[in-house]
């Protein structure tokens, strides 16, 4: 196979001529004749094509929660006494009982002071809440192990 000598190529002969054989006004000038490179113009002059071919191109995905076990309603241990006065009951073992799950609470937090011994039903609770309830003589009844 014989190769053409570089010095004889058309590109060498065209050096110094402004358009190198591609006409007078801007032909063969990269992507100008196409309306841009890549995804250029999708929000401008290629809008109809974008709507038809890629209707979901713009915008973003919805936010994905990192913690799927989100707590929407919580209560502090300092509020338990007033809540027990309105919604509490006494069980057969003669202990004061408060069902926070049925009242719509998801987590018990440890702010405040516990004044009475209560048996509390709740899904989740903090370590501080557990310590305060148990130090007052009460207990926490839960379906899960305690969480932070």
pLDDT tens across 6-35, in order? 999 999 999 999 888 988 877 787 777 788
Write down all domains in the chain, each with its CATH number in brackets: 74-141 (3.100.10.10)
The structure tokens listed for 113 are 């002071």
Q: Please state, in angstroms and as integers, the Cα–Cα distance from residue 116 to each residue in 69, 83, 85, 95, 139, following that order.
A: 30, 12, 11, 11, 11
R_g of the chain, CA atoms, integer Å = 37
Q: How far apart are CA 102 and CA 112, in angstroms?
A: 22
pLDDT tens across 80-136, in order? 999 989 988 887 778 889 999 999 999 999 999 998 899 999 989 999 999 999 999
Say which residue the tokens 């049925």 belong to: 102
E strand map for 24-69: none
Helix (H, G, I), strand (E, B) or coil at 50: helix
pTM: 0.52
Could you give phi then psi for residue 119, rounded to 5 degrees?
-95, 120
For residues 116 and 95, the answer to whether their CB atoms sit within 8 Å is: no
**Regarding beta strands 107-109 and 96-99, do their DSSP bridges make them parallel or antiparallel, or are they unpaired?**
unpaired
């Amino acid at each position: 196979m014989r190769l053409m000598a570089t010095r004889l190529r058309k590109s060498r002969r065209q050096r110094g001529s402004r358009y190198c054989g591609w006409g007078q006004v801007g032909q063969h000038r990269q992507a100008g004749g196409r309306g841009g490179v890549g995804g250029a113009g999708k929000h401008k002059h290629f809008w109809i094509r974008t709507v038809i071919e890629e209707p979901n191109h713009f915008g973003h995905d919805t936010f994905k929660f990192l913690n799927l076990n989100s707590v929407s309603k919580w209560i502090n241990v300092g509020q338990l006494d007033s809540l027990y006065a309105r919604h509490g009951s006494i069980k057969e073992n003669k202990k004061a009982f408060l069902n926070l799950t049925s009242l719509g609470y998801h987590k018990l937090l440890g702010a405040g002071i516990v004044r009475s011994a209560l048996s509390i039903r709740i899904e989740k609770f903090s370590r501080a809440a557990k310590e305060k309830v148990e130090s007052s003589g009460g207990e926490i009844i839960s379906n899960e192990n305690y969480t932070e």
